[in-house]
Structure 1
Amino acid sequence: MGISLTAWGGSQFFNIVFAVLILVIPFLKVDQQKAVFTTSIFVAFYLIVAAISPRPGAALILSPAGIALLGSLAFAILANVIRHYSHAFEYVNILKNTVIGLFFGAIVILSLGLLSEVSGRYLTVIMPFRRSGVPLVESVAEHFVPTGAQFFQEYLILLPFAVFGAMQLLNKRDISSVFVLVLAASGFYISGSFSRLMIFSSIAIALLAAVGFITVTSSIFRPLLTGIGKQATGKSETRTGLKIMYSLFMIVVLCFPVITPSYGYSWVLSADIPTSISNSGSTYRGHDPSFLEALTWLEGSTPEDSIVAAWWDYGYWITVMGNRTSLADNATINGTRISVLGQMFMSPEEESLEILDSLDADYVLIFLAGTKTANQQFGDLYLLGGGGDESKKQWFIRIGGFEDAEFMEPDGFSPNDNFWENSFLGRLMPFTWELAVDAENNVYQEYEFNPERTNLYAYNMKYPADGNGPLRLAFASSSLQPDAPPGRFSGVLIYEIVKD
């Protein structure tokens, strides 16, 4: 457990599990002295291993996570002492009052802001109904709040078994059952804050559903007893029909979500979604080498000390695969830097260049996606939207400190004239508005926003490779070349900053 903290901060989830479990132990009918001894060893080794590692280091001991473990252990030790010096009927009441006191004490600590060192993301996990309202946090897809439909979609078949398994464990009340219940309850609670944390609810569902499935299956396949007393014998032949029906039913039920779409995706289709780098981070299914080609070019065709200005989504790729310095990365720790990048992309050209100069940037990278069509009358036309920066501009705007209405139409997606004329991102995107069409294929060549119309754009590179600056196109993916064939495109543009 201590080693896991060195790799992923999400491992602190298990701090909650073990802290709650240790708090519950004094209420269970177990050997309290043995339980206190083993938990003391566990907590000690857990904190020591984590403390001697560079990350998280010794600060973990006095962090809220460390204090929670030490506090629960202190409560277990105190409960063991109380057990020796109090009557049996007083013991439980004293423990209950102590737990209530600790609960209200925790509320006071949270209310007074004494846990201010806890980041907004961790506080949101602890209190799922408390949303930070910070655009940077909200812009991360993994931070979206999962809905009931998502839980139902992911765990449809397993939910009945999980509920039945939880009921079985509640009846047992031994330490193993309590551990699974605490793990499950904590997993469901935590996963209610961020969609990426649904991985913890999957642990809960897997354990509870396994218990429920084994209980049901064993009861059906258990031989019937005939006879009286010691003469009772097990005969399974009388239940052969039931066993066959149950087996066939379970095969069909477990195969159902594999072959049948649920909210648009079956389990097979969901598992078939490519990794981000494989499809260049677009919303298109399938392999797209555009970003891999761009990163290969970046590593082989730019100076080793080059600094690349790009949105944080591509930071790790630029650093690891492009082997170049990125001004922001996917850790999103430096919110101030990301805010500055948002300002840079959405400010007028002159102000943006000043920001880039202050950041010592050498290149600017953007990623675009959409669909290209060939029209006999109007030539090549582009429909923008497919998971690139054209689809993320609302976060550039909000994180940069601007208002949506400054750069987007009322639909919250379509860029307005101010975006194309007065934002640096609009200048970096090699497109200009050409025409709009409606559902009846009527063409409108004078711009007027209408949510019922589809805007189409013409190719217009504002910073060509042979230009005089202030930027020059250094790299363009094949799908973003003017002579690229019609169809879906997702490509990278890298501009070199022309310096005096």
Structure 2
Amino acid sequence: MQLIELKKWAYIGIAVIITVVAVVAVGVLLSQNNNNNAEPQQQWVGYANPITSDIGGKYNATLILMARLGDYNSGDIEYTRNNVTIRGYYFSAFEPALQYLKSSTPENSTVLSWWDYGNMIVGYSERNVIATNPSPSLLKSITNTSANVKTDSEEKLQDIAKALATTDPQETISIMKKYNARYIYVANGPLGDEGKANWILTESGIPTDNLSDYWSDGKLMNKAFNTVIYKILHEQDIPGLQPVFRDANNRIYRVTD
């Protein structure tokens, strides 16, 4: 029980850090894109007591909601898989995509996504993912520590980042096939992938000296506009990938061959 509790609070700590940084980044991007016409930035409102909601399913999933941002709830998802209780980040803006994956994709499907959506996809949608944890180096860059938290391999996180940050869709598809992934999920809007661009671009292996061609002063630069992740976010045509789900906060594409 103590080990589970330690892991639980470690995951919560990471989620909070990611949330704060992502909100700041998204706020910067919105203010730059909308100049002085931007609406006031929404504020987090914490709940006095966590609100629990049972999802059930084959992993007996439960939502633990701890805060609200505008119309969306934020907290954790807890589920049991292979007799191990797992707890990860949850944000209700992503729920329509999670519902789509659960109801409209084969049960054995694998989804390529950035790691922090992994537990939502596994626990809620009951689909496989490539990673549910950061790599050791990514964890250190997020928390500035080597905390005793479960991590996924450097190779997996680098592959995911390359699949998203590449300008060559065939490289994306090749990486997806390596992991038998047929779907690729990207989050838009509050706490979405655009706010995590710096981490994704860095993890993809782009040389440090070239990162400013993609991301500088909190905003995307010209080279970023040709990446697969940008094209998915902006619903552009991508050879070999077909859009199958979209709403204001979510994008899902599927490999066509």
Distance 1:284 1:274 in 2: 15
User: Which position in structure 1 is the counterpart of 2:215?
Assistant: 408
Cα distance, 1:336 vs. partner? 2.5
- Provide the TM-score with structure 2 as the length reference: 0.60
In structure 2, the CA distance between the partners of 1:470 and 1:10, relative to structure 1 (3 Å rule), is: closer
Match of 2:165 in 1: 346
Partner amino acid for 2:157? I
Asked if the contact 1:273–1:285 (Cα under 8 Å) also holds between the matched residues in 2, the reply is no
Greater strand share, 1 or 2? 2
- Cα offset, 1:269, TM superposition: 4.3
CA, structure 1 residues 362+286, in 2 after alignment: closer, same or farther (shift >3 Å)? same
**2:157 and 2:203 in contact (8 A); partners too:** yes
Counterpart mapping for 1:73-92 below 5 A: none
One-letter code of the match for 1:284? L
Q: Using the TM superposition, give the Cα deviation of residue 358 of structure 1 relative to its aligned residue in structure 2, in angstroms.
A: 1.7
Give runs of aligned pairs for residues 74-223 of structure 1, distance below 5 A. 140-142=14-16
Q: Provide the C-alpha distance between the structure 2 equivalents of 1:429 and 1:10, rounded to a whole number of angstroms.
A: 32
The answer to whether the aligner puts 1:286 opposite 2:71 as a matched pair is yes
Aligned to 2:256: 498
- Is 1:474 aligned to 2:244, yes or no? yes
Q: Tell me the secondary structure at the aligned position of residue 102 of structure 2.
A: helix
Match for 2:220: what amino acid?
Answer: P
TM-fit CA distance, 1:424: 1.4
1:4 aligns with 2:35: no
Aligned twin of 1:297: 100
How many angstroms does 1:393 deviate by? 0.6
Aligned partner of 2:201 in structure 1 is 397
Choose from 118, 123, 139 the match for 1:320: 123
Unmatched tracts of structure 2, length 5 or more: 19-42, 52-61, 74-91, 134-149
Please point out which of 149, 153, 156 is paired with 1:334.
Answer: 153
Contact 1:364 1:496 in 2 (8 A): yes
CA drift of 1:334 comes to: 2.7
Q: 1:414–1:283: structure 2 CA closer, same or farther, 3 Å change rule?
A: farther
Q: Which amino acid aligns with 1:406?
A: D
User: For the structure 1 residues 418 and 293, does the alpha-carbon distance in structure 2 shift closer, same or farther, using more than 3 Å as the test?
Assistant: same
Q: Secondary structure at the match of 1:337?
A: helix
1:472·1:495 contact (CA, 8 Å) conserved in 2? yes
- Relative to the length of structure 1, the TM-score reads 0.32
When Rg is computed on C-alpha atoms for both structures, the one with the higher figure is 1
**How has the CA–CA distance of structure 1 residues 332 and 285 changed in structure 2, closer, same or farther, with 3 Å as cutoff?**
farther
Instruction: Identify which of structures 1 and 2 has the higher relative contact order when contacts are C-alpha pairs closer than 8 Å and 6+ apart.
Output: 2
Q: Is the 8 A contact 1:306 1:361 kept in 2?
A: yes
Give the equivalent residue in structure 2 for 1:306.
109
Name the residue aligned to 1:424: 228
CA distance in 1 between counterparts of 2:117 and 2:70 reads: 19
- Mapped contact 1:363–1:496 kept (Cα < 8 A): yes
Pick closer, same or farther for the CA change 1:142–1:4 going to 2, 3 Å.
same
Q: For residues 417-462 of structure 1, what are the alpha-carbon distances to aligned partners after superposition, in whole Å with 9 as ceiling and x for unaligned?
A: 11112x21122121xxxxxxxxxxxxxxxxxxxxxxxxxxxxxx31
Query: In 1, Cα distance between the equivalents of 2:256 and 2:166?
Result: 19
CA positional deviation for 1:310 = 0.3
Q: How does 1:61-76 map to 2 (within 5 A)?
A: none
Question: SS at 2:155's partner residue?
Answer: helix
- What is the rounded CA distance, in whole Å, between the counterparts of 1:333 and 1:310 in structure 2? 13
Q: Which residue among 25, 28, 47 is the counterpart of 1:271? A: 47
**SS of alignment partner, residue 329 of structure 1:** coil
Asked if the contact 1:365/1:495 (under 8 Å) is kept, the reply is yes
Decide whether the 8 Å contact of 2:108 with 2:128 is kept in 1: yes
What residue in structure 2 maps to residue 367 of structure 1? 187
Structure 1 contact 312–332 (Cα < 8 Å) conserved: no
- Tell me, in whole angstroms, the C-alpha distance in 1 between the residues paired with 2:177 and 2:163: 11
**Structure 1 contact 274–285 (Cα < 8 Å) conserved:** no
Contact 2:45 2:69 in 1 (8 A): no
